[in-house]
Chains A and B, each alone.
Chain A
Amino acid sequence: MAEEQDVKTRAERWPSGDADVKAFQKSGVELLIRFYVLNKIAKIHDAKNDAFLEHGRLLYGSLERILAAEDEGACLRIRHSSLLLNGVRLKSHLGTYPIFKSVMEEMRLRELDAVAFKPGLTLEELFRFMPVFARRDKKEGSIFARLQADIDAADTPHVVLEKASELKTPSNLNRNTARIFFLSIVHLKESFRRNQSDEGIKVHTTRRLMQSIYNHIVDNESFVFGLTNIKNHDEYTLNHSVNVCLLATALGRRLGLNRGELVDLGIAAFFHDLGKLETPLEILNKPDKLDAGEREIMEQHPFKGAEKLVLLKESRRLPLRAIHVAMEHHIKEDLSGYPRYYDKADINLFSKIVKVVDFFDAITTKRVYRTKVFTRSEALSLMLEQAATEFNPVILKAFINLMGAFPIGSLVLLNTGEIAIVFDLNPDPKLVLRPTVKLITDTAANKIDGETADLSEKDPATGRFARTIVEPLNPAEYGIEISDYFLAQAQ
């Protein structure tokens, strides 16, 4: 099956315009959700299970409606990190995002670009197809070839699979992502230097960089989150600013900001601590508590940062919100913090987003003045306690939802005695405590280059989960550089 079979022009298909397109997209999202649910059920239950049969009928109902209207069938396709149904892009929002992500991941795992259901599809055929599709395949070699053979054997002539045409290996992808991460630091360092020597910051370059970062977040979100575990203590502000930029962009994307807004948010987060250039290093790095005078200087940095951005030679190219964020990222939800605004309504949404991720990255980073470095889970727990006063509660909740109970990069102890690092979240909201982890020790505490294990996998013999997280560990206490394990994936 090639792509030409599933696309008509918009005008051909929907002569009456946008309302029809939106209705089709709605049907498409419904189809996607039902496909997602049935796939989940098929992984756990066999084809005779009541839940499987019930949700199979629901999916078939959705397909029937689409097949009745579309001569060419219903073709679900991944194109450049978007999901398309018959050539029409399906749009996710905050609620459906994990479903989109999961379906795309399931297709990628099977080396698929497209799954098409053709007219003539029967319910029985769908019942035969889904268990084959849902089956886990960890054997070496082409997953697609085996899946295609199984599908052929299952006699499902009205389901057509298309092999992924674009070849990309995770290591290439990870390497490129890591490269963008370090380039961001180089660019930020260069921008800071330019600013100090009164030269113009290359905002245009920053904008292009943000677009690239967005692309990597879309393509490789888990690895990007992994990279935010890189904590460079000497160049704290640079490293921290890049982490905040990545996390803010990811959170903004989850909140439904559009591409233009996400680039602006990224730029704003990137430069949010520009004012620290004016703060003496002996204050920034003072191990003891700051005295009143030092605190006053420290608390000037948002104001100074905003001032610097205003005075930039290229300020015209800078989103105004970057100035807001520089100024407002330490203002608390209850208007305490600094600086002291008089009107809560003046605080920009971007500042509230950056406030959350800035806090998270800061308290998970070792600093000379910080007696305790929080683990990522502890950090989220602490933030949760301060939800009402410190953060916008809903944005914080969205962030916790994005990061998961065990954020990527968390060091965890498993009930098997193995120690592991969380590498990916479980997209199923009901299985948030069962992420995918990389095993870094065996059961006898020996370091290993272990496999990547999905903690939602069950032992077929017992029907129980094979591994379970017992507790999060603090990597600082074990001298473990979490970021090394991610960077190793990029080599």
Chain B
Amino acid sequence: MGTPRPVDETASRQADGLVLADREVVRKAEDILTCMANAVSAMKLFPSDHATVRNFVDILSAKFDDFFMTYARLEVGIGEYAFTCGGKVVYTDETTLKSLPFFFFKDGAQILYFYRGLDRSELVEFLELIKNVAQKPGGDNDIVAALWESDFSNIQYYSPDEFIENQILDQKREVQAGQGPQDSAAEKQEGQADLDLPELPSDLSHEALELKVDLARLSHGRIELKQEDMAKFHWQPGAEGGQALPAPSGRGPGPEPSGGPEASSGLTATPVATINSNLTEAEVRELDEMVQSNRALWPEEEFVKMTAEVVYLEADLAGCAASIDILVEFYLEQIGQGQFPAAGMIISKVRDLKSHTETESAGKSALLESCLKKMLGPKSLEAVAAHLAASNAVDWKALFGFFKLLGPSALPIVASFFDTQRDQAVQEQALAFIREAGRDNPGLIARLANDSRPILSREVIRILMGLPGQKGISHLSAFLMFKNRDLKLELIHALGDLRDEMSNKILMGFLNDPDEELRIQAAMKLNPTEEKARIVHVVNEASGPAFRNKSLKEKQAILSFLGRTRSAEALAFLTAVLGRTTFFPSAKNTEMRLAAVAGLKNMATPEATAALESGTQGKGRKVRDACAEALARLASGPGGQA
């Protein structure tokens, strides 16, 4: 109830047409309260949307509606284990733990009022409140305090001040009892000596307050005005009130500034009396904004603000370190509870604080730097992972906001759930984060890719390929060690399109891949290079005995690359291979010569053409035919090149 106060019960009953013996009211109250107790019990067992609960609430609501058809108010007396109405017991339950009357009684409620206007939603709120309060631990399960705070429109209560009075006096008495009679007496004496206040009754709380005001003193004697006050006052006997009187301080009677207080004739103007203290609309708005923003503050935020200031104020570095440790602990707790905005706010606050302390205290600044390192370090990520593992409902938006503050150190965890989260929106956020973090840290991005997460690895390739200035390319060499064929193939194709030296270098690396097809594709995608050493290296590779064991297709791919370099070394090598014959027919040698034909065809220079023409006269029909075909292609123009 907004204002608990004694109620004149007879008057209230008369006002509502109730009389003590109204059987109808008692019967209906009995029904309502039994049903209410049932509804509360059901709510303790089942969730609010459970059919059983809904059913009880429906019945209870209908009973109230029926009651209010006739009566404006239901007044329920609260006994220790019973509800009463009109002096009759209408509900009892003596099991202390679950007794609804006792639940109200223990906190000092004496009467509950239910008014017409009570609807289902308010009733449900009321029942939910009972349920929630009942579930709180002792000390926090004060239903009267909760009712007060809820401030229902149509459900009120009466709890006299005596309840709180008893509590306070009991607590005082406990101490006095603990101190023993002598101490208690001493305390009393001391209390009287040092607390010159009207004495409170020491035993029964309902006794009237004994105030030591000497009423006679207030109305006997005189108050003589002092000279200076008298001087300001020029009262003229017979003058009518409100007549203009001299204004000694110089402020004459006259109109106030617009909107200000009305002119008070003869008033000695104190500054506060001259201002218009009515708030302007802008000031009302400003106050409202202050209240709203204060209301929007999270408790966590308040704690952090306070702790940051404590750290700032603390002169002793050891004390400072202790406060910082608390902050770090609190930060990890927030993460563990999924309070990512709070955790993010803590990081921002520490960074801000560090910037304030840098010039004032190097020691404090170093402590804060170390604090930031801890906050951005592996423990945070472990806490995030633990939260993700334990929680069903993750606030992804808040989490990614937090990751932004963590920066690249969050990359591994973002990557770890990229593949596991099926929600496309989450994947997009993760990708956006990786892309953002990768902008300055391509090496970290590259490390995210591995064989077990092909989707992410594919994205990593795209991100690294797309970084400005091709600064991500070098990090793609990591893929040389991968086992995933499709992934490598995709990379080979992507690298082949880039036509830069670093891509070529990586493609070269793929020439040693265990997978032939990949080697072939890499060779085919290799771009002609002018770097002599690289050409010589390939020539040497191709000259080795191992090369002869490769398939024709691979040989062709490699020698075609050499051809595309149009270098003298390549020409010499290809021409030599084409002209190489053996005493006994050798399939491998034929394959080498055919591959050399392919290389020369790709070279498409007059020297290469000459070599091919020479090849048409050489040994072996397959080679001759291949040379003839290559020449025909070359003759047919650039499009004819293989």
Q: Which residues of A contact B (CB under 8 A)?
A: 2-4, 7-11, 79-82, 84, 87-89, 93-95, 165-168, 173, 175-176, 178-180, 182-183, 185-187, 189-190, 193, 202, 204-205, 207-209, 211-212, 215, 218-219, 230, 232-235, 238-239, 255-261, 263, 303, 306, 317, 320-321, 323-324, 327, 339-343, 345-346, 348-350, 377-378, 380-381, 384-385, 394-395, 397-398, 400-401, 404-406, 413, 415-417, 419, 429-434, 440-441, 443, 445-449, 458-459, 462, 464-473, 477-478, 480, 484-485, 487-488, 490-491
Contact = CB atoms under 8 A, between A and B. Distances in A.
B203 interface: no
B440 interface: no
B270 A478 contact: no
Given A394-B287, A429-B278, A445-B223, A205 B194 contact: no
Contacts of A381: 270-272
Contacts, number: 372
B546 interface: no
Interface in B426-468: none
A236 B575 CA distance: 110
A468 B241 contact: yes
Nearest to A407: B272
Interface in B161-198: 161, 163-165, 167-169, 171-172, 175, 193-198
Contact of A415 (B148, B208, B265, B303): B265
Contacts of B65: 9
Given A342-B353, A447-B221, A400 B3 contact: no
Interface residues of B, number: 119
B242 A468 contact: yes
List 9 A-B pairs, minimum CB-CB distance, nearest first.
Answer: A464-B242, A4-B72, A471-B268, A465-B242, A80-B2, A349-B294, A381-B271, A433-B264, A405-B273
A177 to B, nearest CB: 9
Interface string B266-305: 1110111101011101011011101100110101001101
Contact of A440 (B218, B279, B302): B218
A339 B313 contact: yes
Interface stretch (B112-120, B399-407, B524-532): B112-120
Contacts of A490: 209, 211
Contacts of B2: 79-82, 215, 218
28 contacts: A4-B71, A7-B72, A10-B119, A87-B154, A94-B287, A202-B171, A204-B142, A208-B167, A233-B196, A234-B195, A256-B291, A327-B309, A339-B313, A341-B312, A348-B297, A381-B270, A397-B283, A400-B272, A400-B277, A405-B261, A415-B235, A443-B235, A447-B221, A448-B219, A449-B219, A462-B242, A470-B232, A478-B226
Contact of A384 (B145, B200, B221, B275): B275
Interface of B: 1-8, 11-12, 15-17, 65, 68, 71-73, 115-122, 139-140, 142, 144-145, 148-149, 151, 153-154, 156, 161, 163-165, 167-169, 171-172, 175, 193-198, 200, 208-209, 211, 213-215, 217-226, 229, 232-233, 235, 239-243, 245, 261-262, 264-268, 270-273, 275, 277-279, 281, 283-284, 286-288, 290-291, 294-295, 297, 299, 302-303, 305-306, 308-310, 312-313, 352-353, 356
Contacts of A260: 149
Nearest to A191: B171
Contacts of A378: 270
A473 B229 contact: yes
B273 A406 contact: yes
A384 B274 CA distance: 11
Contacts of A215: 2-4
